[in-house]
Amino acid sequence: MAGASSQVFFEGTEKLLEVWFSSDSESPDLRDVKQEEWEKLLRIVRCEIISKTSNADMDAYVLSESSMFVTKSRFILKTCGRTTLLLAVEPLIQLVKEQCGFSKVLDVFYSRKKFAKPEQQHSIHQSFDEEVSHLDKLFKSHFHLAGIYSVPDWYDGAAYTLGRINKDCWHLYTMDAVGVMEPDQTVELLMWEMCPDTMQIFTKKVCKDGPEATKKSGICDIIPGVQIDDFLFDPCGYSMNGLLPGGYYITIHVTPEPHCSYVSFESNVPQENYMELMEKVLNTFKPSKFLMTVFANKESIAKDNHKQLENKELVPGYTRADHQFCTFKNYNLTYSHFTRPII
C-alpha cells in the first residue's frame, strides 16, 4: 500500500498483533492514550496514521500500512509491507502502563501468513523462529526478571504453524494459558493471485477515492450498516476499517499489483456460521487462492463454527488443499486453505 509502484514488489501479507490488558486498578482505558503517543509508537513500526474513526466502543485508525484498533482493554495492530511490528511490543506495554495504569498482559496473539519474500523483511521478521524467540524473551524473561511488567511465573509462549510448511502456511504465537474469558472471535480470509479486473477498481485509474472504490467493488454490501472509513492510495492500493456497535469491526486491505496481488479481510463480528460472509467476500474479490482462519473461545457463539467447515466441498469453484482444527487454551481454531482448479 502507501502508493506502492507497480514496478516494485510489495508484501501485502500482514503481521497481526492483538494484546489484551488487565489491571487491579479502577477502570483503566486504552483509549485515554493520546493520538500523538500512538504516532510515536507507530514510527517504531515504520508506518503512520492516515485517518481515525470512532464509536462508543472502539477507536479505529487507517494506517499507511494497514490498521490499528483500540478498545478499553484490547489493542490490535495489523501492518503490511516491511514494517517492524514486533519492535513496538515492549514500548506498547510500557506506554499503556504509564498512560493508563494497566498492570498485566492478559493475553497475546501474533499471527501472519507465510511471506512471499521473507528476505525483504527486517531481520526480526525474516523467520517465524526469530519472531517466536523475540516474543519469548520479551514476555518470559525481560518483563518478569527486570520487574518492568507483571508476567505470571507460569507464563509460557506457544507457537504454532498450520498448513504446509514448504508451501503456503499460517503462523500463530500466543500465551499458553486461559486468558480472555469474555466472548471473543476472529475470522480472517487471506487471499492472493487475485482477479485482475477486480483489482483495477483499487487504482486511481478507475476510482478517484476510497468511497468510490468501496461502492464500485461491493465492499459496502459485505456487512450492511458498517460505519466505514476508507482510503485509496496513489497510484494504487486500498484500506478500509468498518465499525459496528458492541466493539465489532471489519478491516480490508488490498494490494492490487498483478505480480503481487493480495487482499485480506478480518472481522470479529460474532456469527454461528461464517459461510454466508465468506461467500460475500469471495464473490467480491474472486481470488485464485485463499486461506481462512476462524478463532473463537468457549464463550463465543462461533465456538462450533468448525463443524460447518468440515465439508471439503464447502466452497463451490474451489478445492480444499488443507484443513486443520485445533483446541487449545479456551479457544477453538480452524484453518482451511482453498485453491481454484486450473482449467
Residues designated catalytic: 11, 14, 66, 80, 239, 253
Exposed / middle / buried, residue 310 (Cβ in 10 Å: 0-12, 13-18, 19+): exposed
Coil, strand or helix: which one is 266?
Answer: strand
- Cell numbers found for residue 254: 488490498
- Cell numbers found for residue 151: 508476567
Distance CA 311, CA 29 (A): 42
Distance CA 100, CA 97 (A): 6
In which region does residue 45 sit, left (phi positive, over 0), alpha (psi from -120 to 50) or beta (all else)? alpha
Q: What is the DSSP string of 206-265?
A: T-SSHHHHHHHHTGGGTSTT-EEEEEE-SSB-EEEEEEETTTEEEEEEEE--GGG-EEEE
- Cell numbers found for residue 181: 474469558
Q: Which 8-state DSSP code applies to residue 303?
A: T
